[in-house]
Amino acid sequence: MTLRFHVWSIGCQMNTADARRMSDELEACGGEACDRMEEADVVVLYSCVVREAAENKVHNELERIRKVKAGRPSMQIALAGCMVEDDVTDLARRYPFIDRYLSPKLDLPLRDQVFDFLDLDAPYRLDPEDAERFSMVSQPVTVSQGCNRRCTYCVIPFRRGVERSRPSAEIRREIEGLVRRGTREVVLLGQIVDRYGRDIETTLARLLADISEIDGLERIRFLTSYPVDFDRELMEAVASLPKVCEDVNLPVQAGDDDVLRRMARGYKTELYEGVVAEMRSVIPGLGLATDIIVGFCGETETEFANTLALLERTRCDVVHVAMYSPRANTASLKLWPDDVPLEEKRRRLHEIETLQAQVSVEINAGLVGSRQEILVEGIRRDKWYGRTRSNKLVFFDSATSEPGQVLPLTITSASSWSLQGRLESTPTLKTLEPPWPQPD
Ligand code: SF4
C-alpha cells in the first residue's frame, strides 16, 4: 500500500523550502502527496511563531488534526518549524497526538529524519520519471540556518539556534536535482544569507559563482540580507554574475536610531542609507525591498515619523510592513511593555502602506516603455505572468508561452504592485529544456 502524505507550511520561505525537501524525501521513499490532510497517512506541519497571527493558524491546524486523528488513530503527525522548542513538554501536553517533533536546530540530514520518523528501512529510491512531473520554475533553497544576532523582538535565534552553513557541494547537488526537474530560478535562503560560509571558510559570493556554473539554471536570488553584512565583495558578485538577479531584500525595521537601538539591530540609519547608496552605485537596475516593524515598544509619533522620512528618502521598490507583537523568550517582552495600542499600530501600518503605494507606482511608471527580460512562472485568470530580474511581477498575453521560458517584454503600463507587458514582436525566444507539462 502506498504511503500518502500531506505537508503543510506557513511563514517564511525557509519553511517553504524545508517543506518541499520533506515532500521530496517522502516521495523518494515511495510516498504519494495528497492535497487533503484528511486522506493522509502522514502529516508534517512546518510551523511559524514569528508573528502571533501565524502561530494562531498553526494552532487552528493542529485542532483540525486533533479531530481527524480521533477518527483515524493510525495517522502519523510530525510538527516541524519554529514552534518546536528544545523542551516540548507544553506542546506534548496540549497536543498529545503529535508523534514526532522535528526541531529546526537539528542538523541531521532530512532523509535520516524521515527514515527515523517513519521507521523506514526500505532502500532509498527516486524514480526520475516521477520527478519530472512537477513544474517548479522558482524554488527556495536553504543555504544556512540559525542566527547569531539577538534582535530584541526576534524569536528565531531561540528556535533555530546559532548560524550554520550547509556545505556548498550539498547545495549544488540539491540545485542540480531541481534543475533536472524543471527549476530555472533558485532563491537561496538564510536568516542572514550574506553571512553564508563564514563558519566553513567560504562566502556567499563564492557560492553564487559556483552555482552560476550549473547548466539550465537561469536565475539566482538570495534572502534575507543584513545591512552590516552586505559587503563590497557581495555587491560586486551581484553586479558581475549574469545569473544573479539585481534584487536585494535589506530589512531596516525602523528609521529612527533610538528604536534601532532598542531593537538591538547594531546599526544606525546613516549606515543603512550608506549601504543602499553604495549598492545602487555598484548594481545598476537594483530592485530593493525592505521590512519595517511598526508600533515597537515605546515607539513615539516622532520616531514613527522618522521611519516614514527614511522610506521617502530611500524609495524602496517594496516595503513589507508588520505590527510588533511580543514573542515568548524575547528581550523586548521582558524589558518593555507592548505600549502602542493596536489601533495606533494599524494606523501606522496603513500610513506606511499608503506612502509605499505612491512610491511604488512612481518607480513602476518609470519602467513603462522599457524592455524587460522575464522568467515565465505560470498563468492566472487567462494572463501569463513572470518576474523581471528586479523581482517585479509582470502580466502579459501570449498564445504560446510556457513556464520556464525567459522572454523579452516591453512594459506597457504599471500599477503599484504589478506591471503589464507586451511580448516583443520579433523576440529571440529562449525556450528551455526540458518541456513542462502542458496545461489541459
Ligand atoms: S538578524 Fe535579528 S531579526 Fe533576523 S533572524 Fe537574526 S535575530 Fe532575528
To the nearest 10 degrees (0 to 180), the angle between helices 13-28 and 110-118 is 60
Q: Mean per-residue pLDDT for 330-349?
A: 97
Are the CB atoms for 426 and 414 separated by under 8 Å? no
What number is the average pLDDT over the span 415-427? 82
What atom in ligand 1 is closest to the CA of residue 191? 5
413 in a structural domain? yes
Residue among 145, 147, 159, 192 whose CB has most ligand 1 atoms within 8 A, to mutate: 147
Distance 152 CA to ligand 1 centre (A): 9
Which of 151, 152, 263, 325 gets mutated to test ligand 1 (max ligand atoms within 8 A of its CB)? 151
Residue to mutate (ligand 1; options 142, 154, 158; most atoms within 8 A of CB): 154
Is 133 within a domain? no
Q: Which atom of ligand 1 is nearest to the CA of 192?
A: 1
* Residue 238 within a domain: no
Label residue 118 by pLDDT band (50, 70, 90): low
The whole-number average pLDDT for the span 208-222 is 97
Tens of pLDDT, residue by residue over 166-211, are 999 999 999 999 999 899 999 999 999 999 999 999 999 999 999 9
420 and 412 Cβ atoms separated by less than 8 Å: yes
Distance 167 CA to ligand 1 centre (A): 22
pLDDT tens, residue by residue, 294-319: 999 999 999 999 999 999 999 999 99
Strand partners for 387: 375, 393
Residue 77 lies in a domain: yes
Q: How far is CA 411 from CA 30, 102, 400, in A?
A: 45, 46, 19
Compute the average pLDDT of residues 64-71: 92
CB 193 less than 6 A from any atom of ligand 1 = no
pLDDT reading at 139 higher than 50 = yes
Q: Whose CA is nearest to atom 8 of ligand 1?
A: 154
Q: How many domains does the chain have?
A: 2
Mean pLDDT of 40-54: 89
pLDDT bracket for residue 117 (50, 70, 90): low
Domain finish residue from 77, 93, 118:
118
Give the closest residue to 246 by CA, choosing from 195, 194, 205, 284: 284
Find the 263 Cα to ligand 1 centroid distance in Å.
10
Work out the pLDDT band at 439, boundaries 50, 70, 90. Answer: very low
Domain assignment of residue 32, yes or no: yes
Domain with 75 in it: what CATH number?
Answer: 3.40.50.12160
Which of 94, 118, 142 delimits the end of a domain?
118
**Residue 376, strand partner residues:** 386
Average pLDDT, the chain: 88
Confidence tier at 113 by pLDDT (50, 70, 90): low
Q: Dihedral, CA atoms, 93, 98, 99, 104, nearest 10 degrees?
A: -100
* Residue 426 in this model has a pLDDT that exceeds 70: no
What confidence score (pLDDT) does residue 260 get?
98
Binding site membership of 151 for ligand 1 (Cβ less than 6 Å) = yes
State the Cα–Cα distance between residues 381 and 394, nearest whole angstrom.
13
Asked if the model's pLDDT at residue 432 lies above 60, the reply is no
DSSP 147-206: -S---TT--HHHHH-S-EEPPHHHHHHHHHHHHHTT--EEEEE-TTGGGTTTTTT--HHH
The verdict on residue 145 lying in a domain is no
Q: pLDDT at position 380, please?
A: 83
C-alpha cell at 18: 524545508
CATH number of the domain where residue 395 is located: 2.40.50.140
Domain that holds residue 413: 371-423
107 belongs to a structural domain: yes
Contact between 397 and 384 (Cβ < 8 Å): yes
C-alpha cell at 80: 516541524
Sign of CA dihedral 379, 381, 383, 389: negative
Distance from C-alpha of 227 to C-alpha of 232, rounded to nearest angstrom: 12
Beta-bridge partners for 383:
380
Q: Is residue 84 part of a domain?
A: yes
Domain closes at, from 88, 118, 148? 118
* C-alpha of residue 147 to centroid of ligand 1, in Å: 6
Does the beta carbon of 154 sit less than 6 angstroms from any atom of ligand 1?
yes
